[in-house]
């Protein structure tokens, strides 16, 4: 049964709303002020909130703001009820993230119509996920029966597969956010969303343990969709709090990239969460792209035409031809941490990283170095004009609430201090195009997994 929370200080209106909604089979909680409303929203997690704007103490705008800032309540659909009909008030409510706005007096049909329209939008996004989970569970039952007969699947794998299904249904997964920092300013301008599994008995399980199996079984589709929905909801909430240029980067698996429903689902997720396409980046690995080049090219082109950014992940590890870099619509290239590791001293890694940064810049791509752990690596990347870094040196991935503190406190990478000021200035001067084109790729480039065309 759909749960609705009514937050309204006028007793008569509150009681009328409760009566009307209960008569239409909704389960209703009603409270008389905003402060209690926020608490009840957190404890009951209603499917929809109807909230008066003008209330003493915490008004409707403050209630909405508080709900949108909390990851648990940020996605609850919200309708304002108000006597105000001024356009400015309406705009303020919608800018804060309200889903609709009813001006009093409204008719029963108007109210029920607004509720039905919002709930059906929400259903459009959650129903396929629920159905997919049910299908996955049914498939697992078949699998268990089959394997009992044929003994084809290892019991460990099967157990993990069953566990993943259960964990998806019971909300044991969480999205962590790892800051991506711009070297020119030291500021966090985006974050990579990384899934974590908080297993009730085994504790934290690394994605390296469960992503490959989820990929093998197809569960990655539901899992990836859940990550997208969670990360987009959270990012929309940060953007509503004022971090307007902030962007989130979400990993797409091989299966997701070849899923014919992908585009449609992403469009739906953006619509429901209110996130602008420009605030979303999708990371695809070389191997995912190479698996089916024509499908990947078409899908990535469509995603890019919506305004979504595309990053090539783990660059250099997938044995992809460098020629393909031109063919795909990438905005960003992520240099894998195996090349970044000890890049200040390892001559092999130095040569590869330098060449990759130059190549990416020549193709107009932003470059992110992954897995930056030391000051020496950072110094080298700065010298080579790498655009952004991500790594334990600045911060590992953090839960949403901890990452939010980074944004709120303006955590940033400290400016270079070890090198002399003059050498810094020289190192940070942009390279001329001529200089760039005169660079050649080192001979050990090919032996590192790259095929240069």
- Binding residues for ligand C2E, rule: CB under 6 A, are 178, 194-195, 206-208, 211, 224, 227, 251, 253, 313-314, 337, 371-373, 390-392, 396-397
Q: How far is the CB of 144 from ligand C2E (least distance, A)?
A: 25
- Write out the two tokens for 7: 């937050």
- Work out whether 286 is an interface residue with Ca ion (CB under 5 A): no
Q: Between 82 and 317, name the residue whose CB sits nearer to ligand C2E.
A: 317
DSSP letters, 8-25, are -S-HHHHHHHHHHHHHTT
Which one of ligand C2E, Ca ion, none is in contact with 132 (Cβ closer than 5 to 8 A by kind)? none
Q: Which stretch binds Ca ion (CB under 5 A): 50-58, 263-271, 312-320, 358-366?
A: 312-320
- Binding pattern to Ca ion, positions 323-362, x when CB under 5 A? ----------------------------------------
Q: How far apart are CA 61 and CA 52, in angstroms?
A: 9
Q: How far apart are CA 368 and CA 283, in angstroms?
A: 12
CA angle in degrees (0–180, nearest 5) for 414-417-422: 125
Chain-centre distance of CA 440, in angstroms? 37
Q: How far apart are CA 263 and CA 298, in angstroms?
A: 11
Contact 295, 324 (CB under 8 A): no
DSSP designation for 104: S
Q: Which stretch binds Ca ion (CB under 5 A): 202-210, 219-227, 292-300, 368-376?
A: 368-376
3-state secondary structure of 425: helix
Q: How far is the CB of 370 from ligand C2E (least distance, A)?
A: 6
Q: How many CB atoms lie within 10 A of CB 43?
A: 9
Q: How far is the CB of 409 from ligand C2E (least distance, A)?
A: 21
Closest CA to 178 of 333, 414, 353, 406: 406
Which one of ligand C2E, Ca ion, none is in contact with 391 (Cβ closer than 5 to 8 A by kind)? ligand C2E
Q: How far is the CB of 313 from ligand C2E (least distance, A)?
A: 5
Sequence-ordered strand ranges (E) for 184-301: 188-199, 203-205, 247-251, 280-285
Q: How far is the CB of 252 from ligand C2E (least distance, A)?
A: 6
Q: How far is the CB of 371 from ligand C2E (least distance, A)?
A: 4
Q: How far is the CB of 341 from ligand C2E (least distance, A)?
A: 8
Q: How far is the CB of 185 from ligand C2E (least distance, A)?
A: 20
Q: Between 235 and 240, name the residue whose CB sits nearer to Ca ion.
A: 235
Q: Between 134 and 206, name the residue whose CB sits nearer to ligand C2E.
A: 206
Task: Using CB under 5 A, count the residues that bind Ca ion.
Answer: 5
Which one of Ca ion, ligand C2E, none is in contact with 34 (Cβ closer than 5 to 8 A by kind)? none
Q: Which stretch binds Ca ion (CB under 5 A): 132-140, 244-252, 297-305, 350-358?
A: 244-252
Q: Which stretch binds Ca ion (CB under 5 A): 64-72, 123-131, 370-378, 393-401?
A: 370-378
Q: How far apart are CA 39 and CA 65, in angstroms?
A: 13
- Work out whether 281 is an interface residue with Ca ion (CB under 5 A): no
- Residues of 219-239 as b/e, b for ≥16 C-beta within 10 angstroms? bbbbbbbbbbbbbbbbbbbbb
Q: How far apart are CA 114 and CA 328, in angstroms?
A: 42
Q: Between 81 and 397, name the residue whose CB sits nearer to ligand C2E.
A: 397
Q: Which residue has the tokens 């990947």?
A: 296
3-state secondary structure of 194: strand
Q: Between 77 and 391, name the residue whose CB sits nearer to Ca ion.
A: 391
Q: Between 52 and 225, name the residue whose CB sits nearer to Ca ion.
A: 225
Which one of ligand C2E, Ca ion, none is in contact with 392 (Cβ closer than 5 to 8 A by kind)? ligand C2E
Q: How far is the CB of 427 from ligand C2E (least distance, A)?
A: 23
Q: Which residue has the tokens 């304002």?
A: 80
Contact 93, 80 (CB under 8 A): yes
Q: Between 98 and 310, name the residue whose CB sits nearer to ligand C2E.
A: 310
- Work out whether 222 is an interface residue with Ca ion (CB under 5 A): no
Q: How far is the CB of 370 from Ca ion (least distance, A)?
A: 5
Q: What is the dihedral of CA 88, 89, 95, 101, to 10 degrees?
A: -130
3-state secondary structure of 39: helix
- Work out whether 251 is an interface residue with Ca ion (CB under 5 A): yes
Q: Site for Ca ion (CB under 5 A): which residue of 225, 313, 387, 404? A: 313
Q: How far is the CB of 232 from Ca ion (least distance, A)?
A: 16
- Write out the two tokens for 238: 């940060």
Q: Between 355 and 372, name the residue whose CB sits nearer to ligand C2E.
A: 372
- Write out the two tokens for 34: 């905003």
Contact 281, 329 (CB under 8 A): no
Query: 388 has which bridge partners?
Result: 182, 368
Please give the backbone phi and psi of residue 96, each rounded to the nearest 5 degrees, phi first.
Answer: -75, -10
- Work out whether 314 is an interface residue with Ca ion (CB under 5 A): yes
The residues binding Ca ion (CB under 5 A) are 251, 283, 313-314, 370
């Amino acid at each position: 049964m759909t749960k609705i929370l009514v937050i309204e200080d006028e007793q008569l209106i509150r009681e009328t709303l409760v009566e009307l909604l209960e008569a239409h089979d909704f389960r209703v909680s009603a409270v008389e002020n905003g402060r209690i409303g926020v608490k009840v929203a957190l404890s009951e997690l209603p499917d929809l909130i109807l909230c008066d704007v003008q209330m003493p103490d915490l008004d409707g705008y403050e209630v909405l703001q508080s709900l949108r800032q909390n990851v648990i309540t940020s996605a609850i659909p919200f309708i304002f009820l108000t006597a105000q009909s001024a356009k400015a008030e309406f705009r303020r409510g919608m800018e804060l993230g309200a889903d609709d706005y009813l001006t009093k007096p409204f008719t029963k049909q108007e109210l029920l119509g607004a509720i039905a329209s919002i709930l059906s939008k929400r259903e459009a996004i959650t129903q396929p996920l629920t159905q997919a989970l049910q299908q996955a569970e049914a498939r697992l039952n078949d699998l268990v029966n089959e394997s009992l007969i044929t003994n084809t699947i290892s019991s460990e794998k099967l157990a993990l597969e069953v566990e993943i299904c259960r964990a998806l249904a019971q909300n044991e997964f969480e999205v962590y956010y790892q800051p991506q920092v711009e070297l020119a300013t030291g500021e966090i301008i985006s974050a990579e969303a990384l899934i974590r599994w908080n297993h009730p008995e085994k504790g934290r399980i690394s994605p390296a343990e469960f992503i490959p199996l989820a990929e093998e079984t197809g569960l990655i589709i539901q899992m990836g969709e859940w990550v997208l929905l969670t990360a987009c909801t959270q990012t929309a909430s940060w953007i509503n709090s004022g971090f307007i240029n902030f962007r989130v980067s979400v990993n797409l698996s091989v299966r997701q990239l070849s899923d014919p429903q992908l585009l449609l689902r992403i469009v739906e997720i953006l619509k429901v969460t209110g996130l602008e396409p420009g605030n979303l980046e999708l990371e695809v690995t070389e191997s995912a792209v190479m698996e089916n080049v024509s499908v990947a090219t078409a899908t990535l082109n469509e995603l890019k035409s919506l305004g979504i950014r595309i990053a090539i992940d783990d660059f250099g590890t997938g044995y992809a031809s460098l020629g393909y870099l031109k063919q795909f619509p990438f905005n960003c290239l992520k240099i894998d941490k195996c090349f970044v590791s000890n890049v200040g001293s390892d001559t092999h890694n130095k040569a590869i990283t330098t060449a990759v940064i130059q190549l990416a810049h020549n193709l107009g791509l932003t470059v992110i170095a992954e897995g930056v752990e030391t000051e020496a690596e950072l110094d080298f990347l700065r010298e080579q004009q790498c655009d952004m870094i991500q790594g334990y040196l600045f911060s590992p991935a953090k839960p949403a609430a901890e990452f939010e503190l980074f944004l709120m406190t303006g955590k940033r990478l400290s400016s270079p201090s070890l090198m002399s000021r003059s050498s810094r200035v020289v190192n940070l001067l942009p390279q001329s195009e001529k200089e760039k084109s005169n660079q050649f790729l080192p001979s050990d480039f090919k032996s590192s997994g790259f095929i240069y065309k």
